[in-house]
Every structure is written in C-alpha cells, then in structure tokens.
Chains A and B, each alone.
Chain A
C-alpha cells in the first residue's frame, strides 16, 4: 500500500507538471462570463443558471481529463518504456495500477475542489445564497467526483488491453450508454426483437449507471439530497471501481511488456 501511495503521488506530480490544472483558467473564464451574462438576462433564476452551468462545466472538464489522461496512464508508460525500470523494482503490478488510478483521482479531486470553490465564489457574488443550496451543490460536486473515479477506472481497464484510441472510444461509449440506462430498461420498439429487449433490460442493471450521479436539477433548485442516496452512491462507485480495477489487474498481470 505504501508503494501505491508513492506511485499515486508521482502520477499527481506528472499531471501538475504536464499543466493539466491549467484547465482551471478555462473554468474561471466560463464562470466569470456566466456571472456577467446572468446579471444581464435573468431575473429570479440567477442561482439556478449559475449552478447548472457551473456543475456542467465541472463535469465536462473532469470527464475530458478522466478519459484522456486515464487512457494514457498505463499505455503511455508502456509505449515510452518508463515502466520497465519501475516493474523491476519490488512493485507488484496491481500496486502500480492502483497507484496510477489513485494519482489521477487525486488530481481530479484537487481540480474539482478548485472548481467548486470557483462556483461558490460566483454564487456568493450574485446572491446571498442559503446553506440549503450550498449543501446540495456540494453533494452534486461529490457525485461528479464519484462519477469521474468510475470513468478513470474504466479508461484504465480498456487501456490495459487495447490501443489508446480504442480505449477512448470504449470509455466514451460506455459513459454514454450509462446515461441512457433508464431508456434501455423500458425500451419498446417494433424494430428490435423481444430477446434483444430483455438483454437490454438485464444489461441496464449491470452497466455503470451514470444517471445515478446526476442530481444537477435537485442542486439547482436547492433541494436537499437524502443521506441514504449519498451512502448508496458512494458504495456503488467504490464497488464498481473495485470490480473494474480487479479486472484490469487480472489483464495487466498477465501482460507481456513489449
């Protein structure tokens, strides 16, 4: 576990030195532009607009980082052969994978916290918001983070056995599929057979369900989010990440480096 931490910190350092956190500038610009615009056009729903916009930006920026860097976590080290010296040291392959995962999740956490602070700043500028709103926005941010961790795990899994491009496509595809789980569950169409529909229904419970983490509307309206849901979503993300990382480890420990 100690070595997992060391690898994770190094991964974080890599992200920082590769200027990943520069995206925060972009986010800041979005928030500033949004605050100015909202002041001009909308009366009464400023909070809602800022919250939805801010959360969407946090989610999209996080997803881009999670997918593109997540896919490179392992494949880049294999391509550049930076992995060789490391794996000849007393590092187990699962420790390496977990460290890489942890490092990117750490990066995303820092990044997301920074963006959340920006969002609260923007909210503070336009209104005296109540703690109700702050609470549910905080939960929404936390859910985004859980979602990002799951995306990183998936990206890592795919990058363990395909090319980076395919891994990006697979991760993005699974993410999009995970947004339409509800529709899949109740899909009715004359164009596909009954059997396909039942398969879809079964899949809809097993595929990573990214809808679970979407409480943007509740947050925008400042509705409280039940504690049980927070616990359930945390458990869901943790369990799903564990399963995906176990599969990734199984693939990676058998893998011959070039």
Chain B
C-alpha cells in the first residue's frame, strides 16, 4: 500500500474511532449517573492531608475541589435530592487548600445554612465556615453580611443578626447600609422589606451562578408571598360581600376586586386551596422551591 493511501486510511480509522469513543462516552456517562446516584464518596476528607499531598499545587487542587463542590451541589439540585452530606467535607477541604477562595465561603455559608430543598439545612456549619472565612480574610466585610443573614433567615435570631451586621459595618470599606440593616433588624425583627433588600444585595454582589440563582428564587418567593397575602386580603373582602370564599381568581375579577388574573413571578397563575388561601400553583416551577416546613420564603 502506498504511504498516501495508508495515511488516509489511518486518518479515517482515527476519526471514526474517536467519534465512536465520543458517542460511547456520552452513553456511559448517562449509565454511570444512574448507578452512582446514591454513591457519594469522598476518599480524602482531611483537608490537611490533601494539602500535604498536593505539594505546592494546593491552589490548583483547591480549584479542582471547588469544581467538585459546584458539581456536587448542581447534580444534587438537578436530581432534586436533598441529602447534601458531602457539602461540608468538600468545602472544608477546599477552603483548607486555598483559605482565600472567597466564593467557596460565600457559597458554603448560603447552601449549608439554607433550608432544604435548596440547602443542607445546617446553619451551624455555615456559621463555622464563615467564621473561618473571616479569620482568614479579615478585610472581606461581606462575610458579615452572609453571617448576619444566617442569623436573620435561618435561625431567626434577630438580636444576634443585628449585632453581626453592626460588627461588619465597622470593617473598612463596608457599605453604609450594613448599619441600616442592623438598625432595622434590631427594631422590627423579620420583615419582608428587609428580606427583599438583603436578597437583592446578595443578588447584585455575586457572580457565582448558583448563588445568584438562589437569591433570585428567594426574591421571587418573597414577591409571591406578598402577592398571596394581598390576594388573601381581597378574598376576605370578597367573602364579606358574597358570603362565601372565592373558588378561584376569576370570582375576584368578576367582583371587580382584581383587574386581571394574577400570576407569580415566573408567570403561572396563583390558585386558592381548599381553605380559600391563595397559594403558588403546584404547576409553577416556584412551587417546589418553597421550604418544606413552609415557614419563611
């Protein structure tokens, strides 16, 4: 065979071979995802050990672990699994490898503390991680914001939350509104306006997609919650007039109480449950984002 022909043949074999490999790989990935769903294994849980093993490449190793964190959370969230047991060890290793990886602390602070289904529901771990972040990066004042957040949202400990916001406001470079929050919270405790402001602040101050997305969902839930309260007021008014609760929103529109059918922030109509309370429609993507205990948005 001439060298030209054999070279062409080789190229064809390689091309065909690799395209076959490419396709097979996708199939195998799908198969492995189903078998590995439960199988959360993290071989090395000791950050110190991993750091020793990765020699001078610790920051690179940190990037790898950080990638695993994001993937782990993303994968769990995607498949709507709620056990996030590995989130803490992964973040622990990541921040040990690179103590200055700001995004890891913020990410951890949010998703360790946030209630299921969006987080691990372990605020004490979130607090520990953020305290470590503050120790390692004292100049980064936003950690106080995140910390105050956990006390405010997840623990409902308003005096402590106010205290943390105040403490953070004294850091060089801290925004003035940190002080405002401290005052508001110590005065009123929880209020939808404060919550909305806090989440907006988070939303605007991060570029990490998961964090941004989470803040957005929270803001949408807050709006939905406010909408529902408004609808409930209208329903009470309707009941006063008609003598029975409205069966659906159409009743309110017909009664002239509502200009049109109200939709939640993702565009799905609200509905009234059997007790006549306005709710997010189960058909809405927002529905499954609500807290399992349905306490706070």
Interface residues of A (CB under 8 A from B): 180, 182-183, 186-189, 191, 205-206, 209, 211-212, 215, 217-218, 221, 223, 225-226, 228-229, 232-233, 235-236, 239-240, 242-243, 246-247, 250, 254
Contact = CB atoms under 8 A, between A and B. Distances in A.
Given A212-B28, A236-B28, A250-B6, A187 B21 contact: no
B10 A228 contact: no
11 contacts: A183-B64, A188-B70, A191-B60, A205-B21, A205-B25, A215-B35, A226-B31, A226-B35, A239-B20, A239-B21, A246-B10
A168 to B, nearest CB: 21
B35 A236 contact: no
Interface string B18-40: 10111011111001101110010
Contact of A183 (B3, B20, B41, B68): B68
Contacts of A180: 64
Given A189-B67, A229-B31, 5 more contacts: A186-B67, A191-B60, A232-B27, A246-B10, A247-B14
A235 B64 contact: no
B54 interface: no
Nearest to B71: A186
Contacts, number: 85
A236 B20 CA distance: 8
A235 B34 contact: no
Contacts of B158: none
B199 interface: no
Contacts of A187: 63-64, 67
A211 to B, nearest CB: 8
Contact of B63 (A189, A205, A211, A235): A189
A28 B109 CA distance: 48
A206 B21 contact: yes
Given A240-B21, A243-B13, A250-B6, A212 B67 contact: no
Given A215-B35, A218-B39, A228-B31, A235 B14 contact: no
A78 B34 CA distance: 47
A243 to B, nearest CB: 3
A229 B63 contact: no
A163 B155 CA distance: 63
Chain A CB count within 10 A is highest, among B24, B60, B63, B71, for: B24
B4 to A, nearest CB: 13
A243 B64 contact: no
B25 A223 contact: no
B25 A209 contact: yes
A154 B63 CA distance: 29
B77 to A, nearest CB: 14
B18 A229 contact: no
Contacts of A233: 28
B66 interface: yes
B100 to A, nearest CB: 12
Contacts of A228: 31
Contacts of A217: 36, 39, 41
Interface in B141-181: none
A239 B25 contact: no
A212 B10 contact: no
A228 B68 CA distance: 27
Contacts of B18: 206, 243
A209 B21 CA distance: 10
Given A187-B63, A188-B70, A189-B63, A239 B31 contact: no
Nearest to A247: B14
Contacts of A211: 32
A246 B28 CA distance: 23
Contacts of B66: 188-189
A232 B24 contact: yes
Given A217-B39, A232-B28, A243 B34 contact: no
A236 B21 contact: yes
Contact of A246 (B3, B13, B22, B25): B13
Contacts of B14: 243, 246-247
B17 interface: yes
Nearest to A230: B31
A206 to B, nearest CB: 6
A228 B28 CA distance: 9
A191 B32 contact: no
A225 B35 contact: yes
B71 A182 contact: yes
Nearest to B68: A183
Nearest to A241: B17
